[in-house]
Each structure stands twice: as structure tokens, then as C-alpha cells.
Amino acid sequence: MSQAWLPDYIYTEGRFRSGLALVADGAGKIVELSENAPGATRLAGRAMLPGLINAHSHAFQRIIRGRTEYRSQNATDSFWTWREQMYAAATQLSPDEIYNVSRIAFLEMAKTGITAVGEFHYLHHSPDGSPYSDRNQLGHEVIRAANDVGIRIALLRVAYARSGFNTAPNPRQVRFIENSPDTYIAHLDLLLNSINTKDGMIWAGVAPHSVRAVPLDYLKQIIAFANERELPVHMHVAEQPAEVDACIEEYGRSPVALLDTEGLLSDRFTAVHAIHVTPKAIAALARSGAGVCACPTTERNLGDGVVPTDLYFKSNVPVSLGTDSQIQIDLLEDARELEYHMRLKKMERNVLAPENETGASALATKLFECATVNGAKAIGFDGGQLEAGAPADFFTVDLNDISIAGASTDELLANIVFSLSRTAIRDVVVNGKQLKLT
């Protein structure tokens, strides 16, 4: 059974248009954007935009929000000291607790306009490291949480084999470890065979955690499996200088150089963070068609550094966005921070604005693409835009909300990207179904 919605404006083909209704079929696909849709649900005073795509999430980390914001007993607090605090939480969560915290994270995502998430999932075993009878029990709990909220999920199943090169095992990582690529592939295959992908609400991908956690031979085997099955591949890359140094010590090459020279990059590969990179590494990512997922809110919270988005844009490397640690869930905030971090670094304004385009929304359009179409490509999803044949995934904003009130049509996207408050978001629809945001 078809249905239709008629807002004041629909964002399509890079601009806001009025007088159009979005018509979807019973399978949750957009049939058309029509000027004639009798019986359409009127969304007065609202603008409709394609659902946001969160390309990198660790849902369970929502539980430590606010609990690491103090100076520890270490001489210097860093990503590495934060990691130990995160591990302490990860070792204690039961399957029910993982479901509950994931549901809270996904509900918060939905309330901010996120309609699909790439969940970088690395909790596999019980707290003592022993396997569950269902080797993917915790993954299924996370999937159930997304389904109950109503958002799409790509479960990016993480491979984790060791603490690091010449590094003693960390007992807090026992829930992550699968020692051999054969074991990992067998468990991923079980997951792939257990999920129903027909309606496009659930699918899976391969996620080697990092070069620190996955040695090269293991990495080659699981990426070969991903390529054979045409699965998305996500991997933490060059998030910290220490990771780069350790990779050079082990392989004589930086993480991106290693991936490039071993033929492991492709247009299905997403390098998460990719902060501490050289121009040569950026060129390698560009040649391969690989993308980068930036998580600016988390990266500034952890003191990771600034993603060189300006160089990625200049090299046509697609940049997507993620909420990562869930310290804050607001993908539009992450979009604007791509630009704001560049402004602070370079002491200039409009650093990422297209050079040959003018107008109030040229920069906003580029940033909004990171939160939509680029994110969709990264997680292997044909979405992120409102057009015939695309999924009926969208959110609406209240045009009278004080954060964007008075914006003209030409300036509306810039107002939404740079100024919208999360309280302005009204309707969220996924697969043609309106979500209950409570």
C-alpha cells in the first residue's frame, strides 16, 4: 500500500523544492516526488531531508558517557588512558545490558535524524573470554536493539587477534579476541546466514580492528573473504601516532602504506579516523577509491587530533561521519566540526568550501553529503538521497524552530548544517515507517 507525505520543502537534487509530496510504496521505496498526491499526509511548517547515515558507532560505549571526564592518576590523560576505562566497562556488560545500552544509543540516533548505522562491533565473548553457544549472541543483541528502534544497521563484525606488536596480552580484551582468521570467518559466516537481508534493514561487513590488533596474514585472509562476498570493509587507521610508529616498527611502513602495497585498499574500504597521514598516504587512498570516516566529536574528546579533511576533499576522497564513542550523538554537529576544526587549525574561514561555487549553501551541501550519501556508500547502502527508487528514509525539521527560524530557501541548508538544534527534528521515517521516538 502506497503512502505519501507533503512537507513545505523537500531536499532533493541538491536543493529545497516546494509543492512536492514524497510517495512511497509498501516495500518502503520512493516511487516518485509528485506535485499531485491526493491524500498525502500534510507536514505543515516542515522541511524534509534524507536520513543521516552514521558510518561508525560503538553503541555500548554510550554507557561510559560522562564517566571519563576527570583527571586520572596518570601523569597525562590520553586516548590510551581513556581506553583502559572503556575496557573496564566492556568487561562487565551482560547480553541484556548490551541490548539496553545499544537501544538507548540507537534511539538517540533516531531522535537526531540518523536512519542507518554502521556498528563497529567487537564484543563477542562472555566477560571471562569463553564463547557463547551462539557465537554471535552479542551481535544479535545489538541488531535486535536497532530493529526495535527501527533504524537500519550494518553490523561491521570486528576482527581482533592481539593487543599489539610485541605487546603482552591485555586481560581486558578477552571479549574481543578471535585468534585465527579461520575462526573469525566461520563466525562471520554464521552471522551472514542468520540475518534476513531481504528488506535491507540488516546486513553485515568485515571490520579488522586495526593493524595493531590484526597481523598482516590474518588481515589478508579476512579482506579476501570480504572482497569475495562484496562486503564493506572498515578499519581504524592512523588514529594515534603510536599506532603509526608501531606499524613502521613491525612492517617498515605506515598503516596506509602497508594497506596500499599489500593491495588491501578498494572502493569498499573505509579508513576510520585516518588522522596521522602523509600526502602520499592520501594519494594512495584516492587511487584505490577508498573512503575515510571522520568522527570529529569523539576525536576532539579523546585528543586524537584533526582529520585533514581539506586534503581529502582536494583529492576527492569521500569523507563520511561517525559518532564513535557516543560522547555526543549529533551527526550535524560532526558535519560542522569538519569545517570548524579546519578553521581553528588554519585560522581561516570556509576552508572546505568548493573553490568554484558560490552561494550560502555550497559549503553546507558538501558537509551534508558527508552525513548522507558518503555515509551510505561507506556502509554499503543505496541511500542518503530522496529520489525515485531510493529508500523512503527521511527526517523533517520544524521551520519555526528558533534555531533556524527566518531562513530563506537559499540559506536553509546552511542554517540546518551550521545552526540546527536537535530539538528542531520532528518526524523520522525509515523504510516508509514512522518511528516512535520514545
Candidates 260, 304, 324, 401; catalytic one: 324
> Is 36 a residue whose pLDDT tops 80?
yes
pLDDT at 89: 87
C-beta of residue 407 within 8 angstroms of C-beta of residue 415: yes
pLDDT at 158: 98
What is the fold, at CATH topology level, of the domain defined by 52-378? Answer: TIM Barrel (3.20.20)
CATH of domain 3-50+384-434: 2.30.40.10
C-beta of residue 322 within 8 angstroms of C-beta of residue 274: no
User: Can you give 364-421 as a three-state secondary structure string?
Assistant: HHHHHHHHCHHHHHHCCCCCCCCCCCCECCEEEEECCCCCCCCCCCCCHHHHHHHHCC
Candidates 121, 124, 273, 341; catalytic one: 273
Q: E strand or H helix at 159, and its extent?
A: strand 152-159
3-class secondary structure, 286 = helix
Q: Which three cell numbers stand for residue 340?
A: 570548524
324 catalytic residue (yes or no) = yes
Rounded mean pLDDT of 110-118? 98
Distance CA 250, CA 243 (A): 11
Indicate the pLDDT class of residue 122, thresholds 50, 70 and 90: very high
Q: Please enumerate in sequence order all residues whose Cβ is within 8 A of that of 424, keeping only pairs 6 or more positions apart, or say none.
A: 397, 398, 401, 403, 404
Q: Please enumerate in sequence order all residues whose Cβ is within 8 A of that of 352, keeping only pairs 6 or more positions apart, or say none.
A: 309, 310, 313, 338, 339, 342, 363, 366, 367
pLDDT tens digits for 254-270?
999 999 999 999 999 99
Distance CA 63, CA 327 (A): 9
Q: Are strands 394-398 and 41-50 parallel, antiparallel or unpaired?
A: antiparallel
56 catalytic residue (yes or no) = no
For residue 381, the one-letter residue type is F
Rounded mean pLDDT of 46-62? 98
pLDDT tens digits for 389-424?
999 999 999 999 999 999 999 999 999 999 999 999
Instruction: Tell me phi and psi for residue 324, to 5 degrees.
Output: 50, -100
Q: Which three cell numbers stand for residue 62?
A: 554510550
What burial class does residue 195 get, using C-beta atoms within 10 Å of its C-beta: 0-12 exposed, 13-18 middle, 19+ buried? middle
Indicate the pLDDT class of residue 438, thresholds 50, 70 and 90: confident
pLDDT tens digits for 368-393?
999 999 999 999 999 999 999 999 99
Distance CA 429, CA 393 (A): 5
For residue 124, the one-letter residue type is H
Mean pLDDT of the chain: 96
Segments making up each domain of the chain, as ranges? 3-50+384-434, 52-378
Please name which of 143, 141, 160 lies closest in space to residue 203, comparing C-alpha atoms. Answer: 143
Q: Which three cell numbers stand for residue 258?
A: 602497508
The CA–CA distances, whole Å, from 20 to 101, 113, 385, 398, 406 equal 39, 21, 15, 17, 21
pTM of the model: 0.97
The pLDDT > 90 percentage for the chain reads 92
C-beta of residue 275 within 8 angstroms of C-beta of residue 306: yes
> Is 310 a residue whose pLDDT tops 80?
yes
pLDDT at 1: 79
pLDDT at 425: 98
Please name which of 116, 151, 111, 147 lies closest in space to residue 396, comparing C-alpha atoms. Answer: 111
Q: Which three cell numbers stand for residue 296?
A: 570529529
pLDDT at 360: 76
pLDDT tens digits for 207-243?
999 999 999 999 999 999 999 999 999 999 999 999 9
C-beta of residue 258 within 8 angstroms of C-beta of residue 235: no
Distance CA 48, CA 431 (A): 15
pLDDT at 75: 67
The HSE-up count of residue 31 (CA atoms within 13 Å, CB side) is 16
**What DSSP line would sit under 3-44, residue for residue?**
EEEEEEEEEETTEEEES-EEEE-TTSBEEEEES--TTPEEEE
For 199, other C-beta atoms within 10 Å of its C-beta total 11
Please name which of 76, 60, 77 lies closest in space to residue 68, comparing C-alpha atoms. Answer: 77
Please name which of 228, 226, 287, 231 lies closest in space to residue 257, comparing C-alpha atoms. Answer: 287
